[in-house]
Structure 1
């Protein structure tokens, strides 16, 4: 028995100029052309690899969709096998030809296997099959554990994951930040000018007050000296 648990993920990527996703590859995608499926990087990469093998090695592998006017590589041919492995190291070109798709739905499988049917269930299953209207097993004498296969496909989680790219810094954010910085520096400039003017006025007042006090002291000294001279003259007379 084979059990396949699926986890669904939806990925939404930003379009240029914010990211490099695309709805089409730079080459003809055989899977899109023949089966009408949506663009995916994986199918585009497989097509690209087949095109490279066809051009460099003169044959393609049977694992992927077969391009037109091409032949399958012979796994017993050492030259063709060596060419296939050599070109595997030159597949960076396919990364440029096949960008990420703007929308992608991924199914991540978790595969587990076990023996089926169990020993306790095998006899009952054999009896049930032999007494049913289904005679596909016939009288071949093969037990159900060697004649049947069971496949279970289920969702690992009842929720699916959504991944979405978002713009980190948009134009309105730039305008807002520039306006905020401009207002901040203009405000600081006005405050600085006011504080400088206040500082200059304080210095002017301090200097003026000091000069006035000095002048008053000099006037007072002169008055005292004049008064002293007058008193001296009166006493002399």
Structure 2
């Protein structure tokens, strides 16, 4: 539950978040996602209100409502990602324990790859991916390699089993291979080995993956956020009563012993989070072609001109050599004739 939200010194609310579903954590929320119904379809920037980008969140977990045996930890799971990236929070999420104020300081790296024919990178959102994206609160998500493979694997699993993996239930809207209609696929029974066998075949067979995931190339542009984490004890004693009043004002049922243990409950459920831009410098890694089309044409022209020039000079030298040889032969012939005449005149 959101207690307080502040971005660059101004209050924000739950209306500034979009929902997305995680197969592991259920309903999750993204701040500052690219969405038409948030912030007039635009995103927040770090330099707003004279700040350099700081999001402050105070959260309350309500751990007494956790479903037993589904999790072995009490925490808030968070990640920093690009505005148009569907977050795979199961893989890169960071767990934030209650009773502390956490600080996430991030810096940004960008990677840009050349398009075809230099690489096989892709920007195209496939119809299957778009069918999955359409289920997430109108947020605009771009192409992602892992998302593309998840959709392709779910499609192959459906073709083989008539159902999809129960561990990827957020990707149930699929387009069967060779068809155009979107369907809402049933989840396979968790005890049925068909979906896991299909996943093994998909990942182990190059021909199958090329057939179902032929469009799943590397992203042409990626943004990576490098994090530095630190934390301190929270909340402070002077803030405890304010949190208590907030929790009691909610319609969510309280623990049965709340009146006597509310202080411990707050310590075990309160999480504070500051996400701060640590540096305005962005490290950019850009792939560039060693030779571009203009360079290729220029090199061909230069090489051709060079060899034509060399060939012309060689022909001139050869002609000069022939001329000198002919002139030498003419001289020798004339000299021999002259000597014969001189001998003849002497005899007379």
Alignment of 1:173-184 (within 5 A): 173-184=295-306
> Which residue of the partner structure matches residue 214 of structure 2?
96
Residues 4, 54 of structure 1: CA spacing in aligned structure 2 closer, same or farther, 3 A cutoff?
farther
2:144 to 40, 48, 61: 40
| Residue aligning to 1:27 | 128
Residue-pair matches, total = 214
Question: Which of the pair has more CA radius of gyration?
Answer: 1
Q: Which has the higher strand share?
A: 2
**1:9 maps to which of 105, 109, 114:** 109
Within the alignment, does 1:217 sit opposite 2:339 as a pair? yes
1:46–1:64: 8 Å Cα contact kept in structure 2? Answer: no
Q: Distance in 2 between matches of 1:159 and 1:85?
A: 46
Match of 1:230 in 2: none
Contact kept in structure 1, 2:164 and 2:195, CA below 8 Å: no
Structure 2 unmatched runs, 5+:
1-99, 174-183, 204-208, 248-258
1:107 aligns with 2:233: no
Aligned residues of 1:5 and 1:153 also touching (Cα < 8 A): yes
Cα distance in 2 between the residues matched to 1:37 and 1:83 = 27
Whole-Å Cα distance in 2 between the matches of residues 38 and 184 of structure 1?
49
Contact 1:26–1:98 (Cα < 8 Å) also in 2: no
For residues 150 and 104 of structure 2, the distance between their equivalents in structure 1, rounded to whole angstroms, comes to 24
> TM-score by structure 1 length?
0.67
Q: Does 1:127 align with 2:237?
A: yes
Range moving further from structure 2, 86-95 or 186-195: 86-95
2:166 to 61, 64, 77: 61
Question: Which structure's relative contact order is higher, taking Cα pairs within 8 Å and 6+ residues apart?
Answer: 1
Query: Would the aligned equivalents of 1:29 and 1:44 in 2 still touch at CA under 8 Å?
Result: no
Higher helix fraction (1 or 2):
1
For residues 134 and 28 of structure 1, the distance between their equivalents in structure 2, rounded to whole angstroms, comes to: 41
TM superposition shift of 1:202: 1.1
SS of 1:142's partner is: helix
Q: What is the Cα deviation at residue 90 of structure 1?
A: 0.7
Unaligned runs of at least 5 residues, structure 1:
227-237
1:83 corresponds, among 174, 195, 214, to 195
The separation in 1 between residues aligned to 2:290 and 2:300, in whole angstroms, is 17
Deviations, residues 16-58 of structure 1 (Å, cap 9, x unaligned): 4554424222634334323332232332222223333344342
RMSD: 3.6
